[in-house]
Amino acid sequence: MGQILTPERMKLFGVALAAAWLAILAFDIWTHTRYGLVDAAGQQLGRDFVNSWAAPRLAHKQSADQVYSILALTDFERSLTAPNAAPKFYSYPPTYLLLTTPISLPPFLPAYLLWIVGGWCLLIALLRPFLGLKSAAIAILASPAVFMNNVSGQNGAITAAMLVGGLMLLDRRPILAGALLGLLSVKPQLALLIPPALLAARQWRAFVAMGVTAVALAGISVLAYGLGPWAAFFHNFPTQRMLLDAEPSIWQRMPTVYSAVRLVGGSASLAYAVQLVAAAFAALCLVVVWRRSGPTLTKAAVLILASLACTPYAWDYDSIPLIFAAVWLWGPASGQAASSLEKILLAVLVAGAALAPALANIIHLQIAPFCLTALLAQRVMKGRTPQVAPAGGST
């Protein structure tokens, strides 16, 4: 495997792939801006970005409660984009309104470009210490998950920066690390395993900082918008679950155990049951690894893997942190080189945003959960042998 995926070949392939993704993104922007801010079918430029941009405006001009009304949000977004713009559903807690208020201030197109390019810059800056600036830029721009995040107008790059940044700072700046991890409360399904990981590693300051940040953010949202939006958010839970259970078209893009079971014909009840077992396994692997001594970045990579294996609701763009997990486990930061099998599994996961939907459409199989489970098992077993900490410390 090492002879095939040489650094030179990976860099050349990355440059070609990055160029292809950028060309497709440019064409997508051109296609939409020909008609204003929507394409001929009424789909907004950046698809879901309109929610991050318009929802804070609606909360400011009318009421934050209206954000959670599909009809009210759709009418407002159409008044800002086009009369035939596709309807959208707002699934985030009111705290997300706070964090996205700055991006709602510029006009739509500059805001969208800032959202995309800003996400690139954050990810490249975080990856630079491990690969260098040029290779980090190639890795980020060539990532299928980053590309899907770009065209979807989603927040995968921002939430990845919160998670990765927090994990990288854990040893040196635990309070700041906890604060960054606490911001992930805006997307709680991706933060489920962070508290048990911090407790297992006795990272008390980071644990407290994470909790204080999450509570403070929620409190500020109540002061800003009142309790109404929170009541509306929880009231919409059944609708969110209905969309997950009744929309086969989205399962192909979801690297979760739930989607894997549904794609092979399993019922929703069976899918949730299997997901629960997978979540328990992921949590167990996580706690075992985080209780051990060893490089923090190895533990961080395991947390990223376990977090995706744990949740029933994650999209391809939520797998951006896998880029960092692959770099940390592949390189010297892990203290023990990845095996050939691990390298294959990591490569498949990083490419998953491009490969998985096609495979799911052809053979009705979601491969990501199998790769995640195998990697977690490998890391638990590998931890039974002595590891050598990398030079320069654990971060």
Dihedral sign of CA atoms 184, 189, 190, 191 in order = positive
Length of the chain: 395
Beta strands in the chain (DSSP E): none
Calpha distance 42→49 (Å, rounded)? 14
User: What confidence score (pLDDT) does residue 392 get?
Assistant: 36
Task: Tokens for 70, please give them.
Answer: 């599909």
- CA geometry: angle at 334 spanning 387 and 304, to 5°? 125
Token look-up 């299997």 returns 274
User: What confidence score (pLDDT) does residue 249 get?
Assistant: 85
User: What confidence score (pLDDT) does residue 229 get?
Assistant: 97
| CA-CA-CA-CA dihedral for 1, 353, 141, 134, to nearest 10 | -20
Asked if 369 contacts 309 with a C-beta cutoff of 8 angstroms, the reply is yes
**Which among 154, 25, 35, 150 has a CA at the least distance from the CA of 88?**
154
Asked if 230 contacts 94 with a C-beta cutoff of 8 angstroms, the reply is yes
Averaged over successive runs of 10 residues, the pLDDT of the chain (395 residues) comes to 65 92 96 87 93 98 96 96 92 97 97 98 97 96 97 97 98 97 96 98 98 98 97 93 88 94 95 97 97 93 97 96 95 68 91 85 88 94 56 37
User: What confidence score (pLDDT) does residue 358 get?
Assistant: 81
Q: Angle formed by the axes of helices 204-225 and 174-183, to 10°?
A: 40
CB atoms within 10 A of CB 257: 29
Phi, psi of 239 (to 5 degrees): -65, -40
User: What confidence score (pLDDT) does residue 332 get?
Assistant: 62
Asked if 55 contacts 100 with a C-beta cutoff of 8 angstroms, the reply is yes
Token look-up 């075992």 returns 288
User: What confidence score (pLDDT) does residue 47 get?
Assistant: 93
Calpha distance 165→163 (Å, rounded)? 6
Task: Tokens for 92, please give them.
Answer: 């985030």
Q: Give whole-number Cα distances, 158 to 49, 150, 254, 284, 390, in Å.
A: 13, 11, 19, 28, 28
Burial class (CB in 10 A: 0-12, 13-18, 19+), 73: buried
Calpha distance 74→66 (Å, rounded)? 10
User: Where exactly are the structural domains of the chain?
Assistant: 248-383
Task: Tokens for 390, please give them.
Answer: 């990398």
User: What confidence score (pLDDT) does residue 10 get?
Assistant: 78
Phi, psi of 98 (to 5 degrees): -65, -50
